[in-house]
Amino acid sequence: MLSSRCGSPGGGALKRRAFLSSALAGAGLAALGGRRRMAVAEAASVRRGGTLTWAYTTIPLRLDPLWTQARTDSIIISNIAQGLVRANPTATAVEPALAERWSVSGNGLTYTFFLRGAARFHDGRPVTADDVIASLERSRALGVYKWSLADVKTIAKLDDKRVAIVLNAPVASILARLAMISNAVFPKDQVTSTGQRELTKPIGTGPFMVREWVANDHLTLDANPRYWEAAPDGKPYPYLDGVIIKQVPEDTTKVLQIQAGDLGGAEAIPFSQVPALKRDPRGQLLTFPQQQVYFMVIQLTRPPFDDVKVRQAMSLALDRKVFVDRATAGLAIPANSFMPKSGLYWNPRASLPYDLTKAKQLMRESKYPNGRSGITLQLPSGSQIGRDNAVLAQQMWGEIGLQVQIQEVDGSALAAAWYESNYEAISGYQWTNGMMDPDQLVQFFFVDPRMNTGYQPSDQAVRMVKAAAEELDPAKRRQLYDQIQLIYNTDVGGTISLYYTPSVNYLTPHVRDFYRTPLGVPLYWKTWLAR
Amino acid sequence: MNRRRYIAGRLGQMMVTLAVLAVLVFYMIRLIPGDPAVTMLGIQATPDAVEQLRHQLGLDRPVPVQFAIFIAGAARGDLGESVLARVPVASLVRQRLPLTLFLVTYAMVLAALITVPLGTAAALQRDRPLDQAIRGFSVFWISTPSFWVGILMLIAFGVKLGLFPVGGGGRTFAEHVYYLFLPALTMGLGVSAVLTRNLRDSILATLTAEHVVVARAKGLPARRIVTRHVLRNAVISTVTLLGLYIGFLVGGSVIIESVFALPGMGSEMVSAILGRDYQVVQGFTLVYAVLVSVVYLLTDVAYAFIDPRISL
Amino acid sequence: MIVQERAAGTVGTRPARRSTVRGWLRSPSLVVGLALVLGVLAVAVLAPVVAPYNPIKQNYGVAVQPPSAAHLLGTDKFGRDQLSRILYGTRIDLAVGLICTFIPLLIGVGVGAVSGYYGGVMDTLFMRIIDVQVAFPFYVLLIAIVAVLGPGLINMYYALILVGWVAFARLIRGEILVAKQLEYALAARAIGCGDARVIARHLLPNVIGPAVVFAMSAVVLNILAGASLSFLGLGVQPPIPEWGAMIAESREYVMTAWWLPAFPGLAITVVGIAFSLIGDGLSGFLRPRRS
């Protein structure tokens, strides 16, 4: 989902990304790791034109950012629509999008946005303050991301090209929230006529426009000739004439199609194939870091998870390095916090060590000194990574006397069990940031009772979460989030973090300057084809 | 002629079958734990969002009311709207059925092209090396997972030799024939492995039957005996099996579709049931049932034509 | 010709059957097939004795290793010994293959024989049940059954049995329809044999051939169907070793670690060959008479 996603019913549809690894990439790719130099590198030899065909395990089911929960949906919509601001390519700061600049009042409550003169919708109409207000009001009233604008008091038109957003109270993450794709801008008349229903043919302002959308098969995007953002050659992005997003569920088939030249690229290549593909000259393998964390879910109201010592022992008994090596072929990074490593305010000093001796000792001191058997660990059926994690955890938890039975359950049944809190433990769920600020993630883990059934953080911890959400000084905010991460590690709330997974992309050799942000957004408008 | 009356009677039975099936599938899919609204909203589902969505999708109405709506729609040819894709189920069917039909027919044709000569040859060469080889072939293909065969075909003919496209179905008839060759062959080989054995045995049985022995005694040419007397009789149980397989193939082509990246009925049906897309499961099951019932009807009618001794 | 003589002598006489048993032993494919199945059965029983390692014990130091002296069939991604897993897997797969074939065979033969012989209301009723069952898409039915009952081995049996009997019933019914009008059947009735005796003694032995031969293929098809359920994660639960699940799990290794999908596949092929040989051998004796 736009803002984040945890666990997918389809399970197998893994979403990953990582740091750029490969030297295979052509000349134009040399600068990819350090984004800042990219523009320079691309200007020299860029070739315009051509259509890129790209495969995902599933293609977007919804093109209305208010009503989608799927990562693929939101990252593709990010190529079609935009809001006032957007996350920068490294997802570390907010940068101008439809607003070319903004100003903030001294009390931090009023934000004034100055709309970009060149910004036009796909149908050629200029973007006005009315469009912005209509879109944001819809997002504030409807859909899954209402919370993102919950503290907004008014959205007012100052003139055709100026909008003022007034808050009830300071919201540290307000710009990050506005950068979420749910707050994208659509023409006022489309917003009005769509109303509560779902937007199916979005007229956006992004670099690509929808030409054809065939459910569960493909989505054809054409270049937007009026896109406001200029490339280094002076002409507007995108370089490509279009992008075709295809649904290819079988991972091995994706790889073969790329090697045969039938596909330009694909995401979600099995980790285990990466070493071999790196050596294969028929394609280029690119990994990008992403704000994604895999974890085990445990329900704290059920024994033996009701004892914090047991939970601490469970976390200590997991050798995360082994998880990374076995389940992700060494590509992921062992987790040290519930917050994703490449995200803002991640605490590098937090730690989740492996210490079997201490784990056994904690078990002896716990309410369950003889361990416990018959614990059911469920996973969404068909999820390879969920199964791998479960099999690994089964052996490691067995060492401290917790006997686990693995049960694959179909994803929808598991979602229902989750919704009704009718489970003991779950493997294969993950969280992927859709918002660059950790505010939502932290709220969800500490304040929202659903994520951690039965987890009751101390009043102090809850107060810190609230303070961090309102703190406008980044340094003070960092201190708060640092501590919050340490508290969660000690409490071992309803999730035990395992590792941070990269996005693995495999491309034909002539695709250049492909880049995926840590939020998963592919910058197709900066991608070009060498032939 | 009572054949016409027979066919009319069978058509009536088919309607009954479809009605029973509609009731079954409707209630069965609602029996499975899981809820489309919860599935769609994922882990951040809040009770009020779930309620809102259930209302939007019409899932908060009493089940019998939902059933009445489904039946009334189906009778008019309206299969409702997909919860997940939010397009009419009928348009999903139009989008996916032709490819599946083409693929299955193609696989059947290839299977027949492999089965008839091999089965006949094996029977006529009984226990000689050719027969052994053909039996070996069939044992091998029966026992080999189609997923594996598919991938190997893609690697060999698609990537290494570049003779066929790797996945996709093509648009025109000629493209279909070309694009779907590997998946149809993968499917067809698996089917022909079972059918070849069956045909061989049936032919052997028929060869010893009296009328064939008589025909031989009368000195009729061997070719004519095989085509007129033997194949015609031997093909009966093979046709039964073929009929059974068509049903199996249409609904069970998921793995082939997945490996060859084909947007067919099978994968849509499986993802619909996994996603609790009730309308799609109901609609596709009905369409599938109509197809299979028609195929069976044809098989039964074919019996009558192939073997006039069966009274209708 | 030998077959015809034997068949001609079959009409209700005992000596013919004894010669059949002796004949069975003369068929090399039957003997080899039976020997293979017995061998596989022995492996299933003796798995704990013959397996060199614990099949679920993970040993990360030797993960994804090609076949070697220490691990004859290599190791999987958790460093588990693949030979041991395949040996233990025999227990599950043989059970799936046999139970999910022979129970449906019995049901199918019963239903098909009664239906084909008596015709009328009984036939109509059974045929309509079969029509509904067959018109239900295979996977939708399997997934739905497993989803309702919950995943696991026993429920997988139920699902495959519920789906499997139909093919046998249709096959037998089709053959009986033909056979009951043939001279020998008419003759048997004419000399006053009861229905049960006509079916059991005269019709079934003559028409059961294709069903039994098909059953031998069905053993493998059921193992593969179990594998398909494993693909969807609805079959045997990890870490229990099962061939289909092993193939499903090694999907991503098709191009990088050939031994992971190859050996479980080979195990299925061996079982397939064993039963096919039996089918071949039996088909010589169980051929339907058409005269």
CB-based contact, B301 to chain A, within 8 Å? no
Work out the mean pLDDT of chain C and round it to a whole number.
Answer: 81
Same-domain status, B103 and B14: no
Q: Answer yes or no: is pLDDT of B291 > 70.
A: yes
ω into C239 cis (within 30 of 0): yes
Q: Is residue B32 part of a domain?
A: yes
In angstroms, the Cα distances linking A299 to A155, A449, C252 are 41, 11, 32
Integer Cα distance of A127 and A137 in angstroms: 16
Cβ burial C95-105 (10 Å sphere, 16+ → b, else e): ebbbebbeebb
Interface of A with C (CB under 8 A): 11, 251-252, 255, 270, 272-273, 275-276, 322, 325-326, 379-384, 387-388, 390-392, 394-395, 405-410, 413
pLDDT band at C6; cut points 50, 70, 90: very low
Q: Is residue C25 part of a domain?
A: no
Same-domain status, B106 and B32: no
Pairing of strands A292-298, A495-500: antiparallel
Looking at B15, B46, B75, which one is the last position of a domain? B75
Instruction: For residue A179, give both structure tokens.
Output: 């950068």
Q: Answer yes or no: is pLDDT of A369 > 80.
A: yes
CATH label of the domain that carries residue C210: 1.10.3720.10
CB-based contact, B16 to chain C, within 8 Å? yes
pLDDT at position C15: 33
For A62, the closest chain B residue by CA position comes to: B85
Residues in A touching C151 (Cβ below 8 Å): 381, 407-409
Q: Answer yes or no: is pLDDT of A37 > 60.
A: no
Pairing of strands A503-507, A284-288: antiparallel
Are A3 and A443 spatial neighbours (Cβ–Cβ below 8 Å)?
no
Residues in A touching B82 (Cβ below 8 Å): 215
- Name which of B33, B237, B247 is nearest C171 (Cβ-Cβ): B237
- Give which of A220, A224, A218, A219 is closest to A204, Cα–Cα: A224
Same-domain status, B45 and B121: no
pLDDT band at B15; cut points 50, 70, 90: confident
pLDDT at position A209: 97
Average of pLDDT values for A465-478? Answer: 94
- Name which of C127, C178, C289 is nearest B309 (Cβ-Cβ): C178
Give percent helix, percent strand, percent coil of chain C, each to the nearest 5. Answer: 75, 0, 25
Q: Answer yes or no: is pLDDT of A250 > 70.
A: yes
For C125, the closest chain B residue by CA position comes to: B13
pLDDT at position C159: 86
Integer Cα distance of A369 and A358 in angstroms: 13
Q: Is residue C107 part of a domain?
A: yes
Residues in A touching B39 (Cβ below 8 Å): 9, 411-412, 415-416
Cβ B166–A256 below 8 Å, yes or no? yes
pLDDT at position B310: 53
Pairing of strands A218-223, A402-409: unpaired
Any idea what DSSP says for residue A460? H
CB-based contact, B144 to chain C, within 8 Å? yes
Give this prediction's pTM: 0.86
Integer Cα distance of B2 and B5 in angstroms: 5
pLDDT at position B306: 65
Cβ B38–A415 below 8 Å, yes or no? yes
Residues in B touching A61 (Cβ below 8 Å): 84-85
Cβ burial A229-263 (10 Å sphere, 16+ → b, else e): bebeeeebbbbbebbbbbbbbbbbbbbbbbbbbbb
Residue C276 C-alpha, separation from nearest chain B C-alpha, in angstroms: 6
pLDDT band at B86; cut points 50, 70, 90: confident
Are B58 and B66 spatial neighbours (Cβ–Cβ below 8 Å)?
yes
Average of pLDDT values for C62-85? Answer: 93
Pairing of strands A99-104, A218-223: unpaired
CB-based contact, C238 to chain A, within 8 Å? yes
pLDDT at position B141: 81
Any idea what DSSP says for residue A317? T
Report the half-sphere exposure of A161 (CA within 13 A, side-chain side): 11
Give residues with Cβ within 8 angstroms of B160, minimum separation 6: none
Integer Cα distance of C262 and B152 in angstroms: 12
CB-based contact, C1 to chain B, within 8 Å? yes
Q: What is the pLDDT of residues C35-72, one digit of tens each?
A: 999 999 999 999 999 999 999 999 988 989 999 999 99
Q: Is residue B88 part of a domain?
A: no
Cβ B198–C210 below 8 Å, yes or no? yes
CB-based contact, C63 to chain A, within 8 Å? yes
Instruction: For residue C107, give both structure tokens.
Output: 């049901």
User: Mutation test of the interface with chain A: which of C256, C258, C259, C260, choosing the one with the most A Cβ atoms within 10 A?
Assistant: C256
pLDDT at position C175: 82
Cβ A381–C60 below 8 Å, yes or no? no
CB-based contact, C97 to chain B, within 8 Å? no
Q: DSSP for chain B?
A: -HHHHHHHHHHHHHHHHHHHHHHHHHHHHHHSS--HHHHHHGGG--HHHHHHHHHHTTTTS-HHHHHHHHHHHHHTT---B-TTT-SBHHHHHHHHHHHHHHHHHHHHHHHHHHHHHHHHHHHHTTTSHHHHHHHHHHHHHHTS-HHHHHHHHIIIIIIIS--S-SS---SSHHHHHHHTHHHHHHHHHHHHHHHHHHHHHHHHHHHTSHHHHHHHHTT--HHHIIIIIIIHHHHHHHHHHHHHHHHHHHHHTHHHHHHTT---HHHHHHHHHHTT-HHHHHHHHHHHHHHHHHHHHHHHHHHHHH-TTS--
Any idea what DSSP says for residue C200? I
**Between A301 and C207, residue with greater pLDDT:** A301
Q: Is residue C205 part of a domain?
A: yes
Q: Is residue C30 part of a domain?
A: no
Q: Is residue B80 part of a domain?
A: no
pLDDT band at C16; cut points 50, 70, 90: very low
Average of pLDDT values for A388-414? Answer: 93
**Between A45 and B240, residue with greater pLDDT:** A45
In this structure, of A43-47, A251-255, C151-155, the range with the lowest mean pLDDT score is A43-47
CATH label of the domain that carries residue B215: 1.10.3720.10
Residue C199 C-alpha, separation from nearest chain A C-alpha, in angstroms: 45
Residue C117 C-alpha, separation from nearest chain B C-alpha, in angstroms: 13
Q: Answer yes or no: is pLDDT of C24 > 70.
A: no
ω into A304 cis (within 30 of 0): yes
Residues in B touching A7 (Cβ below 8 Å): 42-43
Integer Cα distance of C62 and B219 in angstroms: 70
Instruction: For residue B175, give both structure tokens.
Output: 């493209």
Instruction: For residue A168, give both structure tokens.
Output: 């009830």
CB-based contact, A450 to chain B, within 8 Å? yes
CB-based contact, B45 to chain A, within 8 Å? yes
Other beta carbons within 10 angstroms of residue B115's beta carbon come to: 26
Q: Answer yes or no: is pLDDT of A468 > 70.
A: yes
Average of pLDDT values for C264-277? Answer: 86
In angstroms, the Cα distances linking C39 to A210, A340, A493, C133, C175 are 61, 53, 52, 36, 34
- Give which of A26, A531, A524 is closest to A237, Cα–Cα: A524
Helix (H, G, I), strand (E, B) or coil at A210: strand
Same-domain status, B15 and B132: no
Helix (H, G, I), strand (E, B) or coil at C190: helix
Q: Is residue B312 part of a domain?
A: no
- Name which of A5, A216, A260 is nearest B85 (Cβ-Cβ): A216
pLDDT at position A7: 37
Q: What is the pLDDT of residues B116-125, one digit of tens each?
A: 899 889 888 8
Average of pLDDT values for C155-167? Answer: 87
- Give which of A436, A455, A460 is closest to A444, Cα–Cα: A455
Q: Is residue B81 part of a domain?
A: no
Instruction: For residue C186, give both structure tokens.
Output: 């008419």
Task: For residue C258, give the amino acid letter.
Answer: W
Instruction: For residue A364, give both structure tokens.
Output: 């002896």
Cβ B14–C128 below 8 Å, yes or no? no
C112 φ, ψ to 5°? -65, -40
Total domains in chain B come to 2
Q: Is residue C72 part of a domain?
A: no
pLDDT at position C245: 86
- Give which of A526, A504, A529 is closest to A266, Cα–Cα: A504
Same-domain status, B63 and B122: no
Average of pLDDT values for A489-514? Answer: 94
Q: What is the pLDDT of residues A308-328, one digit of tens each?
A: 999 999 999 999 999 999 999
Q: Number of A:B CB contacts under 8 A?
A: 130
User: Mutation test of the interface with chain B: which of C115, C129, C138, C242, choosing the one with the most B Cβ atoms within 10 A?
Assistant: C138
Work out the mean pLDDT of chain B and round it to a whole number.
Answer: 81
- Give which of C245, C157, A414 is closest to B275, Cα–Cα: A414
In angstroms, the Cα distances linking A282 to A260, A272, A298 are 8, 18, 43
pLDDT at position A91: 93
CB-based contact, C232 to chain A, within 8 Å? yes
In angstroms, the Cα distances linking B65 to B45, B58, B71, B72, B84 are 26, 10, 10, 10, 21
Cβ A419–B87 below 8 Å, yes or no? no
Residue A57 C-alpha, separation from nearest chain C C-alpha, in angstroms: 14
Q: Answer yes or no: is pLDDT of B269 > 90.
A: no
Residues in C touching B146 (Cβ below 8 Å): 224
Same-domain status, B111 and B26: no
- The residue segments making up the domain with residue B57 are 3-75
pLDDT at position C193: 80
Give residues with Cβ within 8 angstroms of B293, minimum separation 6: B14, B17, B18, C131, C135
Residues in C touching B24 (Cβ below 8 Å): 132, 136
Residue C220 C-alpha, separation from nearest chain B C-alpha, in angstroms: 6
pLDDT at position A39: 42
Same-domain status, B140 and B208: yes
Are A366 and A401 spatial neighbours (Cβ–Cβ below 8 Å)?
no
Average of pLDDT values for A195-218? Answer: 91
pLDDT at position C27: 75
pLDDT at position A212: 94
Q: Is residue B85 part of a domain?
A: no
pLDDT at position C120: 86
In angstroms, the Cα distances linking B35 to A413, A414, A421 are 8, 10, 15
Same-domain status, B20 and B134: no
Q: Is residue C279 part of a domain?
A: yes
Q: Is residue C4 part of a domain?
A: no
Q: Is residue C48 part of a domain?
A: no
Does the ipTM surpass 0.90? no
Q: DSSP for C26-89?
A: H-HHHHHHHHHHHHHHHHHHHHHHH-SS-TT---GGGTT--S-SSSTT-B-TT--BHHHHHHHH
pLDDT at position C7: 31
Same-domain status, B46 and B132: no
CB-based contact, B252 to chain C, within 8 Å? yes
Pairing of strands A333-334, A242-247: unpaired
Total domains in chain C come to 1
Average of pLDDT values for B225-232? Answer: 71
In this structure, of A134-138, B43-47, B215-219, B248-252, the range with the lowest mean pLDDT score is B248-252
Same-domain status, B60 and B150: no
In the numeric block, the tokens 């398909």 are attached to C228
CB-based contact, A417 to chain B, within 8 Å? yes
Instruction: For residue A320, give both structure tokens.
Output: 């995360």
Q: Is residue B115 part of a domain?
A: yes
Residues in C touching B292 (Cβ below 8 Å): 134-135
Which chains reach chain B with 3 or more Cβ–Cβ distances below 8 angstroms?
Answer: A, C
Q: Answer yes or no: is pLDDT of B253 > 80.
A: no
Same-domain status, B44 and B148: no
Q: Number of B:C CB contacts under 8 A?
A: 185
Residues in B touching A69 (Cβ below 8 Å): 40-42, 44
pLDDT band at C289; cut points 50, 70, 90: low
